[in-house]
Amino acid sequence: MNLSATQLDEYRQNGYLYFPNLLTAEEVDILRSAIPALMASTGPEVKRDTPESTPKIVYAPHVNDPHYGMLSRLPRILGTVQQLLGEAAYVYQSRINLKLPFTGDSWSWHQDFTAWHLGDGMPRPHAVMTAVFLDACTVANGPLLVIPRSQRESLDDILSREAKVQGYEVQRVATDTLKSLAEEGGIVDLAGPAGSVAFIHPTLMHGSAPNMSPWPRSILYLNYSAVSNRTTANKRPWFMNNTDNSALQLAETDSLLQAA
Protein backbone atom coordinates (compact mmCIF):
# COMPACT_ATOMS: atom_id res chain seq x y z
CA MET A 1 0.00 0.00 0.00
CA ASN A 2 1.53 3.25 -1.15
CA LEU A 3 0.39 6.34 0.73
CA SER A 4 -0.42 9.39 -1.35
CA ALA A 5 0.98 12.84 -0.63
CA THR A 6 -2.49 13.78 0.59
CA GLN A 7 -2.55 10.89 3.08
CA LEU A 8 0.92 11.72 4.37
CA ASP A 9 -0.15 15.31 4.87
CA GLU A 10 -3.34 14.14 6.63
CA TYR A 11 -1.24 12.11 9.07
CA ARG A 12 1.03 15.08 9.76
CA GLN A 13 -1.94 17.37 10.30
CA ASN A 14 -4.42 15.15 12.18
CA GLY A 15 -2.06 12.67 13.84
CA TYR A 16 -3.67 9.50 12.48
CA LEU A 17 -4.85 7.60 9.43
CA TYR A 18 -7.74 5.13 9.51
CA PHE A 19 -8.38 2.32 7.01
CA PRO A 20 -11.57 0.24 7.40
CA ASN A 21 -11.23 -3.43 6.36
CA LEU A 22 -7.49 -3.25 5.74
CA LEU A 23 -7.32 -6.94 6.73
CA THR A 24 -9.57 -9.55 5.17
CA ALA A 25 -12.12 -11.55 7.14
CA GLU A 26 -9.96 -14.66 6.65
CA GLU A 27 -6.91 -12.90 8.10
CA VAL A 28 -8.92 -11.68 11.10
CA ASP A 29 -10.19 -15.22 11.72
CA ILE A 30 -6.61 -16.50 11.82
CA LEU A 31 -5.61 -13.86 14.35
CA ARG A 32 -8.67 -14.37 16.53
CA SER A 33 -8.22 -18.14 16.59
CA ALA A 34 -4.82 -17.62 18.25
CA ILE A 35 -6.17 -15.48 21.10
CA PRO A 36 -7.31 -18.32 23.46
CA ALA A 37 -3.83 -19.87 23.53
CA LEU A 38 -2.23 -16.47 24.15
CA MET A 39 -4.69 -15.77 26.98
CA ALA A 40 -4.01 -19.17 28.54
CA SER A 41 -0.33 -18.43 29.06
CA THR A 42 0.79 -18.06 32.66
CA GLY A 43 3.80 -15.93 31.79
CA PRO A 44 4.30 -12.37 33.06
CA GLU A 45 3.32 -10.94 29.68
CA VAL A 46 -0.33 -11.85 30.42
CA LYS A 47 -1.88 -9.26 32.74
CA ARG A 48 -4.67 -10.38 35.11
CA ASP A 49 -6.23 -8.70 38.14
CA THR A 50 -5.90 -12.00 40.00
CA PRO A 51 -4.30 -15.32 39.01
CA GLU A 52 -7.77 -16.77 38.39
CA SER A 53 -9.26 -13.85 36.44
CA THR A 54 -9.55 -13.48 32.68
CA PRO A 55 -6.65 -11.50 31.19
CA LYS A 56 -7.12 -7.85 30.31
CA ILE A 57 -3.90 -7.38 28.35
CA VAL A 58 -1.67 -9.84 26.51
CA TYR A 59 1.77 -8.45 25.69
CA ALA A 60 4.17 -9.57 22.97
CA PRO A 61 1.79 -11.58 20.75
CA HIS A 62 4.09 -10.84 17.81
CA VAL A 63 6.82 -12.80 19.65
CA ASN A 64 4.69 -15.59 21.11
CA ASP A 65 2.53 -16.40 18.08
CA PRO A 66 3.85 -16.78 14.51
CA HIS A 67 0.70 -15.36 12.93
CA TYR A 68 1.00 -12.10 14.85
CA GLY A 69 4.69 -12.03 13.99
CA MET A 70 3.81 -12.37 10.32
CA LEU A 71 1.14 -9.68 10.63
CA SER A 72 3.74 -7.23 11.95
CA ARG A 73 5.65 -7.55 8.67
CA LEU A 74 2.79 -7.37 6.17
CA PRO A 75 3.34 -4.63 3.57
CA ARG A 76 -0.06 -3.15 4.40
CA ILE A 77 1.11 -2.67 8.00
CA LEU A 78 4.90 -2.40 8.11
CA GLY A 79 5.14 -0.78 4.69
CA THR A 80 2.75 1.95 5.78
CA VAL A 81 4.72 2.50 8.99
CA GLN A 82 7.96 2.77 7.03
CA GLN A 83 6.42 5.45 4.83
CA LEU A 84 5.16 7.42 7.83
CA LEU A 85 8.55 7.25 9.54
CA GLY A 86 10.63 7.60 6.42
CA GLU A 87 12.96 4.81 7.52
CA ALA A 88 13.23 1.23 8.80
CA ALA A 89 11.27 0.22 11.90
CA TYR A 90 11.03 -2.45 14.58
CA VAL A 91 8.22 -3.49 16.93
CA TYR A 92 9.03 -1.70 20.17
CA GLN A 93 5.96 -3.16 21.92
CA SER A 94 2.91 -5.21 21.02
CA ARG A 95 -0.16 -5.98 23.07
CA ILE A 96 -3.77 -7.07 22.77
CA ASN A 97 -6.17 -4.98 24.85
CA LEU A 98 -9.14 -7.21 25.68
CA LYS A 99 -12.41 -5.47 26.53
CA LEU A 100 -14.73 -8.23 27.65
CA PRO A 101 -18.53 -7.95 27.39
CA PHE A 102 -20.00 -5.65 30.06
CA THR A 103 -16.72 -5.60 32.00
CA GLY A 104 -14.11 -3.98 29.78
CA ASP A 105 -12.40 -1.06 31.52
CA SER A 106 -12.25 2.51 30.31
CA TRP A 107 -9.00 4.30 29.48
CA SER A 108 -8.81 7.96 30.42
CA TRP A 109 -7.47 10.49 27.94
CA HIS A 110 -3.73 10.07 27.52
CA GLN A 111 -0.92 9.80 24.99
CA ASP A 112 1.59 6.98 25.06
CA PHE A 113 4.93 8.60 24.40
CA THR A 114 5.46 9.97 27.91
CA ALA A 115 5.56 6.42 29.31
CA TRP A 116 7.81 5.28 26.48
CA HIS A 117 10.23 8.16 27.05
CA LEU A 118 10.33 8.11 30.84
CA GLY A 119 10.06 4.34 31.22
CA ASP A 120 12.22 3.11 28.38
CA GLY A 121 14.29 6.06 27.26
CA MET A 122 12.75 6.39 23.80
CA PRO A 123 14.46 9.57 22.60
CA ARG A 124 11.76 11.06 20.36
CA PRO A 125 8.17 10.33 19.33
CA HIS A 126 9.50 9.05 16.02
CA ALA A 127 7.19 6.07 16.26
CA VAL A 128 3.77 4.85 15.13
CA MET A 129 1.00 3.17 17.09
CA THR A 130 -0.83 0.70 14.87
CA ALA A 131 -4.27 -0.33 16.15
CA VAL A 132 -5.65 -3.48 14.51
CA PHE A 133 -9.31 -4.20 15.25
CA LEU A 134 -9.70 -7.88 16.10
CA ASP A 135 -13.40 -7.36 16.82
CA ALA A 136 -15.89 -4.88 15.45
CA CYS A 137 -15.66 -1.62 17.37
CA THR A 138 -18.99 0.11 17.90
CA VAL A 139 -20.30 3.05 19.90
CA ALA A 140 -21.57 0.52 22.46
CA ASN A 141 -18.44 -1.50 23.19
CA GLY A 142 -15.95 1.27 23.90
CA PRO A 143 -14.31 2.24 20.61
CA LEU A 144 -11.00 4.05 20.46
CA LEU A 145 -11.51 7.82 20.71
CA VAL A 146 -8.98 10.29 19.34
CA ILE A 147 -8.61 14.08 19.38
CA PRO A 148 -7.35 15.09 15.93
CA ARG A 149 -4.44 17.52 15.80
CA SER A 150 -3.64 16.97 19.50
CA GLN A 151 -0.23 15.41 18.75
CA ARG A 152 2.84 17.38 19.82
CA GLU A 153 6.41 16.81 18.68
CA SER A 154 7.95 18.69 21.60
CA LEU A 155 8.49 16.62 24.73
CA ASP A 156 8.61 19.78 26.83
CA ASP A 157 5.15 20.65 25.59
CA ILE A 158 3.85 17.15 26.37
CA LEU A 159 5.24 17.12 29.90
CA SER A 160 3.96 20.59 30.69
CA ARG A 161 0.45 19.54 29.75
CA GLU A 162 0.23 16.45 31.92
CA ALA A 163 0.54 15.61 35.59
CA LYS A 164 1.81 12.06 36.13
CA VAL A 165 0.48 10.05 39.03
CA GLN A 166 1.68 6.61 40.11
CA GLY A 167 4.88 7.09 38.14
CA TYR A 168 4.88 7.16 34.35
CA GLU A 169 2.31 4.42 33.82
CA VAL A 170 -0.70 6.60 34.66
CA GLN A 171 -1.29 10.04 33.26
CA ARG A 172 -3.98 12.52 34.22
CA VAL A 173 -4.72 15.29 31.78
CA ALA A 174 -6.11 18.56 33.08
CA THR A 175 -9.73 19.22 32.12
CA ASP A 176 -8.95 22.64 30.70
CA THR A 177 -6.25 21.10 28.50
CA LEU A 178 -8.67 18.49 27.16
CA LYS A 179 -11.32 21.13 26.59
CA SER A 180 -8.90 23.25 24.61
CA LEU A 181 -7.66 20.32 22.51
CA ALA A 182 -11.20 19.04 21.82
CA GLU A 183 -12.45 22.48 20.86
CA GLU A 184 -9.57 22.75 18.40
CA GLY A 185 -9.68 19.27 16.89
CA GLY A 186 -12.99 17.68 17.91
CA ILE A 187 -13.35 14.08 19.08
CA VAL A 188 -13.54 11.19 16.64
CA ASP A 189 -14.66 7.66 17.52
CA LEU A 190 -12.82 5.08 15.45
CA ALA A 191 -15.72 2.68 15.15
CA GLY A 192 -15.51 0.11 12.40
CA PRO A 193 -15.50 -3.57 11.43
CA ALA A 194 -12.95 -6.15 12.48
CA GLY A 195 -9.91 -5.89 10.25
CA SER A 196 -9.83 -2.09 10.31
CA VAL A 197 -6.47 -0.49 11.13
CA ALA A 198 -5.54 2.94 12.48
CA PHE A 199 -2.02 4.38 12.31
CA ILE A 200 -1.60 6.85 15.19
CA HIS A 201 1.09 9.31 16.21
CA PRO A 202 2.33 8.36 19.72
CA THR A 203 1.59 11.79 21.20
CA LEU A 204 -1.99 11.95 19.88
CA MET A 205 -4.48 12.22 22.73
CA HIS A 206 -6.74 9.15 22.86
CA GLY A 207 -8.86 7.08 25.22
CA SER A 208 -11.93 4.84 25.35
CA ALA A 209 -15.10 4.27 27.35
CA PRO A 210 -16.09 0.98 29.07
CA ASN A 211 -17.57 -1.87 27.09
CA MET A 212 -21.30 -1.64 27.80
CA SER A 213 -22.30 -4.27 25.26
CA PRO A 214 -22.57 -8.09 25.25
CA TRP A 215 -19.86 -8.24 22.55
CA PRO A 216 -16.08 -8.26 23.02
CA ARG A 217 -13.86 -5.44 21.77
CA SER A 218 -10.26 -6.50 21.30
CA ILE A 219 -7.62 -4.30 19.69
CA LEU A 220 -4.07 -5.34 18.85
CA TYR A 221 -1.50 -2.58 19.21
CA LEU A 222 1.68 -2.96 17.20
CA ASN A 223 3.80 -0.05 18.39
CA TYR A 224 6.67 0.55 16.00
CA SER A 225 9.71 2.75 16.53
CA ALA A 226 12.19 3.94 13.94
CA VAL A 227 15.42 1.96 14.18
CA SER A 228 17.27 5.27 14.67
CA ASN A 229 15.01 5.91 17.69
CA ARG A 230 15.94 2.84 19.76
CA THR A 231 15.21 2.97 23.48
CA THR A 232 18.10 3.57 25.86
CA ALA A 233 16.83 2.25 29.22
CA ASN A 234 15.78 -1.15 30.55
CA LYS A 235 13.48 -0.22 33.43
CA ARG A 236 10.63 -2.38 32.13
CA PRO A 237 10.55 -6.07 31.11
CA TRP A 238 11.28 -7.28 27.59
CA PHE A 239 7.63 -7.67 26.64
CA MET A 240 7.03 -3.94 27.25
CA ASN A 241 10.35 -2.76 25.78
CA ASN A 242 11.49 -5.12 23.05
CA THR A 243 15.27 -5.54 23.06
CA ASP A 244 15.28 -6.89 19.50
CA ASN A 245 15.45 -3.58 17.66
CA SER A 246 16.77 -4.82 14.35
CA ALA A 247 14.99 -3.55 11.25
CA LEU A 248 12.01 -5.64 10.20
CA GLN A 249 11.87 -7.00 6.66
CA LEU A 250 8.67 -6.91 4.66
CA ALA A 251 6.83 -10.21 4.24
CA GLU A 252 4.81 -11.26 1.21
CA THR A 253 1.38 -9.67 0.81
CA ASP A 254 -0.54 -12.92 1.46
CA SER A 255 1.94 -14.48 3.87
CA LEU A 256 -0.51 -14.50 6.79
CA LEU A 257 -2.92 -16.65 4.83
CA GLN A 258 -0.12 -18.87 3.54
CA ALA A 259 1.14 -19.48 7.09
CA ALA A 260 -2.28 -20.57 8.38
Of the chain, the percentage scoring pLDDT greater than 70 comes to: 91
Is the pLDDT at 154 greater than 70? The verdict is no
Closest CA to 45 of 37, 36, 57: 57
In single-letter form, the type of residue at position 48 comes to R
User: Is the separation of the CB atoms in 252 and 258 below 8 Å?
Assistant: yes
Is the pLDDT at 164 greater than 50? The verdict is no
The predicted pLDDT at position 108 comes to: 82
Residue 76 — left, alpha, or beta (φ > 0 → left; ψ -120 to 50 → alpha)?
Answer: alpha
Would you state the pLDDT for residue 54?
87
Q: What angle do CA 113, 125, 151 make, to 5 degrees?
A: 75
Determine the length of the chain.
260
Greater model confidence, 158 or 214: 214
Q: Cβ distance 212 to 141 under 8 Å?
A: yes
Can you spell out the DSSP letters for 22-59? -S-HHHHHHHHHTHHHHHH--STTEE-SSTTSPPSEEE
User: Rounded to 10 degrees, what is the CA torsion of 45, 51, 53, 56?
Assistant: -20
Average predicted confidence (pLDDT) for the chain: 90
Handedness of CA 178, 182, 185, 191 (dihedral sign): positive
pLDDT at 14 over 60: yes
Q: Is 61 helix (H, G, I), strand (E, B) or coil?
A: helix
pLDDT in tens, 172-204: 566 887 888 999 999 999 999 999 999 999 999
Band (pLDDT 50/70/90 cuts) for residue 106 is confident
pLDDT for res 20: 97
pLDDT for residue 165 is more than 90: no
The mean pLDDT value for 160-182 works out to 62
Confidence of residue 234 (pLDDT cuts 50, 70, 90): confident
Q: Is the predicted pLDDT of residue 46 greater than 90, yes or no?
A: yes
44: Cα separation from own chain's centroid: 20
Residue 256, pLDDT > 90, answer yes
Q: Which H/E stretch holds residue 221?
A: strand 217-226
CA dihedral 22→26→28→33, nearest 10 degrees, is -170
State residue 259's pLDDT score. Answer: 76
* pLDDT category of residue 166 using cuts at 50, 70 and 90: very low
Is a pLDDT exceeding 60 seen at residue 159? no
The pairing of strands 57-59 and 217-226 is: unpaired
Average pLDDT over residues 64-76: 97
SS3 string of 239-251?
CCCCCCCCCCCCC
Q: What are the angstrom distances between the C-alpha of 212 and each of 142, 143, 147, 196? A: 7, 11, 22, 21
